[in-house]
Amino acid sequence: MAINLKAEIRNVAGKGAARNIRNNKNIPAVIYGEKKAPVAIELNGRDFEMLLKTPSLRTKLFKIETSNGTEDAMLMDIQYHPVSDAVIHADFKRIDVNSPVNVSVPVEVINAEISKGLKLGGVLNFAVRKVALRGLVDKIPEKITIDLANLSIGDSVHGSDLVLPEGIELGLHQAELAFATIGGKMPEEKDTAKAATATATAEPAKK
């Protein structure tokens, strides 16, 4: 679902103008892209700070309403003050909602508590926690999940194993990535190794 955002057009640019906006508790921002001239805007600071609590905000479609009309865009960058950590600027990129976009979304593991491999003493290596996807912005999921329930020791989940929504594709070089692996030895392998060690220890030294 799109996020509706109202903004004022900024007619004066420069550091001084941006400082005045921030002094008024608002946030200077810009909309660029799609071979159109950039538009400097001013956002309501309180409203935008509240929006930052939205999960996966950078995968969302924004409909930014100004006196010039409504722009379809995605949030590309947020700049923070180095001391106060307050938002001091935001960048939005125009998009064509009928053309696919490239985004990265978080990967989450589920059912670790009932995972076969982890119950057998395996160790989870959750190596890649974001996946690059391509698709229409309204089809992009907030996250991708990996179900560990039926994974045993030695099993891996690669990009090509991820369950994606219809119409969503993996980005370049994602298919071969190992996102999660359950490492370790099966119980019978551990027993065999222990038995071999015990036998070697019990054998008398040869003269």
- Domain limits for position 85: 3-94
Residue 201 has pLDDT above 60, yes or no: no
Residue 204 has pLDDT above 70, yes or no: no
CA 184/CA 39 separation, integer angstroms: 55
Name the pLDDT band for 202 (thresholds 50, 70, 90).
Answer: low
* Co-location of 108 and 187 in the same domain: yes
DSSP H helices in the chain:
15-23, 45-51, 116-119, 187-202
Question: Do the bridges between strand 62-66 and strand 27-33 make them parallel or antiparallel, or are there none, so unpaired?
Answer: unpaired
Query: What is the model's pLDDT at position 196?
Result: 46
* Co-location of 29 and 111 in the same domain: no
* Co-location of 128 and 75 in the same domain: no
- Taking only the tens place, the pLDDT of each residue in 31-65 is 999 999 999 999 999 999 999 999 889 999 999 99
Query: What is the model's pLDDT at position 186?
Result: 78
Total Cβ atoms within 10 A of residue 19: 12
Name the pLDDT band for 205 (thresholds 50, 70, 90).
Answer: low
Name the pLDDT band for 14 (thresholds 50, 70, 90).
Answer: confident
Within-domain flag for 199: no
Mean pLDDT of the chain, nearest integer = 90
| Domain of residue 40, CATH code | 2.40.240.10
Name the DSSP letter for residue 183. Answer: E
Total Cβ atoms within 10 A of residue 122: 22
* Co-location of 120 and 157 in the same domain: yes
The DSSP line for 96-124 is -TTS-EEEEEEEEEE-GGG-HHHHTT-EE
The residue with tokens 């008024």 is 24
Question: Of the candidates 94, 115, 132, which is a domain's last residue?
Answer: 94
- Taking only the tens place, the pLDDT of each residue in 89-104 is 999 999 999 999 999 9
CA 200/CA 203 separation, integer angstroms: 5
Query: What is the model's pLDDT at position 12?
Result: 79
* Co-location of 59 and 109 in the same domain: no
Question: Of the candidates 94, 125, 145, which is a domain's last residue?
Answer: 94
Question: Of the candidates 44, 61, 94, which is a domain's last residue?
Answer: 94
Query: Does this model's pTM top 0.85?
Result: no
- Taking only the tens place, the pLDDT of each residue in 102-123 is 999 999 999 999 999 999 999 9
